[in-house]
Structure formats: structure tokens, C-alpha cells
Amino acid sequence: MEQTDEILVKEYRGGVLENVHRGRICGVGADKRVHIRVGDMDMPTFWRSCAKPIQAIPRVMRGIDERLSFSEAETAITLSSHRGEAGHIETLESLMQKSGLQEAMLACGSAYPANSAARENLLKRQAPPRPIYHNCSGKHFGVLTLCKQMGWPLDSYWDISHPAQQEIIRMLLRMSECSPHEMHVATDGCGFPVTAMPLKNLATAYLKLACPELIEDEAVRAAVVNITNAMNREHWLVSGTGRITSVFLQDENIVAKDGAKGVYCFGLKREKLGFAFKVSDGSDQAWPYIITAILTQIGYANEKTIAELQKFAPPEIKNDNGKIVGEVQTVFRI
């Protein structure tokens, strides 16, 4: 299927166009209709890690976090793409102790931390990679916790046929209002199933995360409130130091999560809008430019949030000596 993505961001060096970031953007309103459209809204888009808040709902809605006395930090780490920093690992170790899980149960594979300082510290000590350092280990621990509490098999929790994964699939369909025949299933980098849906369905799910009053089921609604509260209050744990999502979530009006290969989703509570966008080249470099442009163009009221995001999106390109050598232009209009 050929993509019909549009140019979102251009990068110029010395007045010459050097890079073009194409993509698609969707904004859904409280009426569940597409109000903002850039590119093809029906193109299947993989959720990647943007699905993590929804993947946590089956566990939270059963009261498992409360039963095990999880803190908001421990809830937040289960839907994170953490960077393996010291505070992330400490939170994961606390979660393991409370849930009775072991690191050896993780099926995500071993890795070094994504945070450069944490990674370099381990390499200097010649420490080996570990599964707990994997940026998806929190999600894996979260699903393992659900399985243990439900008496489901632990050794195949990652398999698409496992009851935990089937519940997650149903919840993704429910929150996104996607019909099953429009959903595609593949395998994510961490070994979990990953689904692709039309971009408008990703935006619909984030509308509901931001506006849980639109969710009819009381248990799901309550779980979403708990999850999004944890995301806002423990924003650093959801991502990490110097990451745009950690900054974005400091605004309590916003629910946001990043994913691999250029996908990003966020919802605005007061405005009752859900957004999803995908950068075609899979890069995350254009994210802050796109997000800032969306917020500016809709007249978002919190100027502090826009100012903080603009720190990630300088209009000038500078070389290693700090000299301005080019510029970045956001060219789409919504």
C-alpha cells in the first residue's frame, strides 16, 4: 500500500534543502470525528510504545496495583519507555519485590540503558547488559504481574495466544474503536505483539485517555484515571532525563506517550482533542517541531508548555562550534 504522507518539516543547510520529514497527523474531537487531517488517516500505523498506557489497563482495572500496594511511581514504570537510569531501576526492583517476580522471567532480551550516562557507567565497570535495563522491561513486568495474579502461565506471557495478550488486544480495539478487520498484528522489538491501525484510531484512544468521561465502562474509566494521574505525577519515570515526553507530561492537561519509528500520541483534556502522528522516516528528531506547531496552530493556552517544548525545537541548525549553519522550518498547516 503506497503512503500518501505530506511534508511536515524541512531542514536547510546554507540555504540548500538537506532533509525532508514527511508524515501524517490526525486530530480527533469529542464527537470521535476527525477534525485535523494532514496526510492519510486510514494508513495502518503501528502503535509501538504508544500502546503502553492501554496495555496497562487490564491489570489496573482489576485493582491489582492497589492490592499489591504499588505506588504511582511503580504504576508509571509499567507503561514507560524508561532510559535505564538509577531511579528507573530502583523503581523496577521495588515492583519486582512487591509482585514476587524475577528478572529472569523477562522475555524482552538483555540490553544496556538507553540513557548515555547510565550506559557509559556500566561499560566503564565492564558490567554486562541485563533484561531490566531494556526500555520495555516495565511493560513486561506489568503484564507478568497481571498473569501471576490471575493464575495464567508466566512462561508464554508474550505470545499472541496468551490470555493476557488477548485481553490487551481487546482493550486496544475497545479504546481505539477500531474494527478487528482493520487491525494488523506483528511483533514489536521487545517480543510483544504490536498492532497497526488507521491513525484516526490511535488518536481516538488518546482522546479517551485524556477525557475518561467518554469511556462508558466504569472499571476501565477508573483505571484510565489512575494510569494518567501516574503519568503526569511521575512523568520522569515514563521516559527519562532530557526527553520530550517527560517534559510534555509535566502539563497536567496533557496525556502523551512516544513510540519507536516516529509515532507519537497525545491527548488534551480541556480541549477534548486526541492527536496521533507518524513521521515517515521513523525519526524522532522532528517530534518537538511537529508538537509545537500543532499546539501553536490550535492556540493552546499554556504558553509555558510551548516554551519548554521550543527548547527541543530550535529554529537554527548549529555546527559543533555553535555557529548557525542552517534552519528548520515546519511547513504543515492544520
Is residue 3 predicted with pLDDT exceeding 70?
no
> What pLDDT is recorded for position 18?
97
* The pLDDT of residue 266 is above 50: yes
Asked if the model's pLDDT at residue 225 lies above 60, the reply is: yes
Report, as an integer, the average pLDDT of 76-103. Answer: 98
Q: Which of the four pLDDT bands, split at 50, 70 and 90, describes residue 78?
A: very high
Is residue 291 scored above 80 in pLDDT?
yes
AA letter at 167: E
The pLDDT assigned to 4 comes to 76
Q: For 310-333, how does the pLDDT look when each residue is reduced to its tens digit (9 = 90+)? A: 999 999 999 999 999 999 999 999
Q: pLDDT value at position 220?
A: 98
* Residue spans of beta strands (DSSP E) within the chain: 6-13, 16-29, 34-38, 44-46, 184-187, 193-198, 254-258, 263-268, 273-279, 316-318, 324-330
Residue 105 CA to residue 137 CA, distance in Å, equals 10
For the stretch 235-264, pLDDT in tens is: 999 999 999 999 999 999 999 999 999 999
Predicted confidence at residue 1, as pLDDT, reads: 43
Work out the average pLDDT over 19-36.
97
User: How many Cβ atoms sit within 10 Å of the Cβ of residue 72?
Assistant: 17
Average pLDDT over residues 175-186: 97
Q: What percent of the chain has pLDDT over 90?
A: 99
